[in-house]
Amino acid sequence: MTIIDGKWLFIGTDLRLSECSRIMGEKGFDVFHYDGNSYSEQLAGILDEITPDHIVFPILQMEDTIPVDKINKSAILYPGVAASDWLAPFSEAGFTIRPYLKEVEFVWENAVLTAEGFLLEYYPSAKRRISGEHFYIAGFGKVAKMTAAVLASLGASITIVARSPEQLGEAAAIGYQTMHLPTGSVDVKGILINTIPAKWLQVDADSTLRIYDLASAPGCLKGNSPDEYYTIHLGLPGKHFPVDAAKALSEALLRMNSR
């Protein structure tokens, strides 16, 4: 038996998980899908019945956890977003843990899908073209880089807002305008896309800055910042491109096991 053989169990209601299960099944793998995000008697029964060799957890951390004694001791676990204390019982029990959200190619592919997904969020809400518009993008990680590239390709002007000199230098070298991440209120007008997963942004009560938040919880607004012009857009790959996102996940799982 090779390391990618055996039974695969996909857990989660996110369409990416069910689609990934389907794709893996079409490739000849022995797959099962549990359509839930929390531990239940049904999931316990599935674990007892099929004793999976590979368990792919939901994109976001499960509402509770699976008792370690319900899992095949040789099983490989693939968490999505998961806190260290949630993972601790599995680590202490000696399970092999391979977080798929740390697989570099998968993260980049998701960044591309997120950037394209943002367009599908922006057009119906703004009802404006992108060409000639000015976008501020907070952060310059993978999602920010792909979003900036997509917007620039459509004729937008870009200002990267970051704290890291390395990120600001890289952004300037590409040709973007740059701005140091402020510690107080942000005094800019127009459109800001946040990709920083932290509460860093303070806006004045009369601000009309339109904020699209693409980062994970807790959102970027600090304190009592007004949220009239603020919207959060999570899971865009799964929302707009579930089949493409699932294909990327299946390929990431296979890459993680081939190395």
- Looking from the CA of 159 toward its CB, the CA atoms found within 13 Å total 14
**What CATH number does the domain located at 107-238 have?**
3.40.50.720
The pLDDT, as a whole number, for residue 198 is 92
Residue 169, CA distances (Å) to 49, 97, 145, 166, 252 in order: 55, 36, 13, 5, 31
The C-alpha torsion from 99 through 104 and 107 to 108, rounded to 10°, is -170
Task: Encode pLDDT of 240-253 as tens digits.
Answer: 999 999 999 999 99
What separation in angstroms does the CA of 53 have from each of 5, 10, 57?
A: 8, 11, 13
Spell out the alpha helix ranges (H) of 83-235.
84-92, 104-126, 142-153, 165-174
Mean pLDDT in residue range 119-123: 98
Contact 114, 143 (CB under 8 A): yes
Count of residues in the chain = 259
Work out the average pLDDT over 219-243.
90
Report residue 225 as tokens.
Answer: 């910042």
CB 180, CB 168: distance < 8 Å: yes
> Contact 57/75 with Cβ under 8 angstroms?
no
Residues 209/225, Cβ–Cβ less than 8 Å: no
Omega into 242 within 30° of 0, i.e. cis? no
For 141-195, what is each residue's pLDDT tens digit? 999 999 999 999 999 999 999 999 999 999 999 999 999 998 878 888 899 999 9
User: Tell me: the pLDDT tens digits for 75-114?
Assistant: 999 999 999 999 999 999 999 999 999 999 999 999 999 9
Q: Is the pLDDT of residue 2 over 90?
A: no
3-state secondary structure of 241: coil
pLDDT above 70 (res 216): yes
Work out the mean pLDDT of the chain and round it to a whole number: 94
Three-state DSSP state, 191: strand
Task: Determine contact, residues 237/244, Cβ cutoff 8 Å.
Answer: yes
Q: Which helix (H) or strand (E) element contains residue 240? A: helix 236-240
Placement of tokens 């960044």 in the chain: 111
Residue 249 and residue 5: Cα distance in Å, rounded?
Answer: 17
> pLDDT tier at 3 (50, 70, 90 boundaries)?
low
Confidence category of residue 4, pLDDT binned at 50, 70, 90 = low
- Looking at the predicted structure, is the pLDDT value of residue 1 above 50? no
